[in-house]
């Protein structure tokens, strides 16, 4: 398979046609080989416009999610970034050369609240039902977060900013985004 041609087709037929046109996004997504982040048997599907299950609960979201996420994040050279990685390693590879530093955490680590840190930009590589206190603590004062958000079973790209110790998400575009179950709301009784 000609992966360079598949990467170009992804840019032209998935990203650009959906409004993802920032040069920095197109450059990064055109230069990082998605096929290197999936199992050998899935390499030919690396540029399809849907998520790829990697096994063991890990997933690589569709290219459009990553493109829209990077456009919305507007990473800065001074950003200290946390990527809550869905298991592929692709998103950290996309953003690393654009920012000061990148740290990755698993969804379990980020949701559990046991890890420390303060980041100017947090990227969650999947969809979450809510931002638990442990994850909110990782977003620095005036820091930004870009994630998928689940509301009544619908997933949307969402962004937020932490101000005065408070963090809220603003849903943007409806998009198919793999669920990160570690961020499901705790179940409880209601009347």
Query: For 3-21, how does the pLDDT look when each residue is reduced to its tens digit (9 = 90+)?
Result: 999 999 999 999 999 999 9
Measured over the CA atoms of residue 136, residue 140, residue 142 and residue 145, the dihedral's sign is: negative
Distance CA 31, CA 13 (A): 16
pLDDT at 38: 95
pLDDT at 191: 60
pLDDT at 138 exceeding the cut of 90: yes
- pLDDT tens per residue, range 57-66: 899 999 999 9
44 SS3 class: helix
As a whole-number percent, the residues of the chain with pLDDT over 70 amount to 98
Distance CA 180, CA 118 (A): 22
Distance CA 115, CA 18 (A): 36
Distance CA 157, CA 155 (A): 7
The answer to whether residues 171 and 128 touch, using CB atoms and an 8 Å cutoff, is no
- CATH topology for the 51-182 domain: Rossmann fold (3.40.50)
| Residue that is written with structure tokens 């620095």 in the block | 140
Q: Tell me the CA distances in angstroms from 101 to 75, 83, 96, 97, 138, one per residue in order.
A: 11, 11, 7, 9, 15
Distance CA 64, CA 127 (A): 14
State the chain's mean pLDDT as an integer: 93
Q: Which residues contact 130 (CB under 8 A, 6 or more apart)?
A: 183, 185
- Per DSSP, what are the bridge partners of residue 154? 151
What ranges do the domains of the chain cover?
51-182
């Amino acid at each position: 398979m000609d992966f360079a041609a598949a990467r170009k087709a992804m840019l032209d037929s998935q990203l650009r046609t959906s409004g993802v046109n920032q040069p920095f996004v197109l450059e990064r997504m055109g230069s990082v080989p998605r096929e290197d982040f999936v199992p050998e048997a899935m390499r030919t599907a690396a540029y399809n416009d849907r998520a790829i299950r990697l096994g063991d609960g890990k997933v690589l979201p569709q290219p459009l999610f990553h493109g829209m996420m990077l456009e919305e994040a507007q990473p800065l050279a001074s950003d200290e970034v946390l990527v809550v990685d869905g298991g592929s390693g692709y998103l950290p590879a996309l953003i690393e050369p654009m920012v000061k530093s990148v740290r990755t955490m698993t969804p379990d680590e980020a949701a559990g609240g046991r890890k420390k840190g303060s980041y100017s930009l947090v990227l969650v590589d999947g969809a979450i039902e809510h931002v638990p206190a442990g994850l909110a603590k990782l977003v620095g004062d005036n820091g930004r977060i870009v994630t998928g958000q689940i509301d009544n079973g619908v997933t949307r790209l969402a962004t937020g900013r932490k101000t005065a110790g408070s963090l809220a998400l603003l849903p943007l575009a409806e998009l198919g985004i793999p669920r990160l179950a570690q961020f499901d709301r705790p179940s409880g009784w209601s009347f």
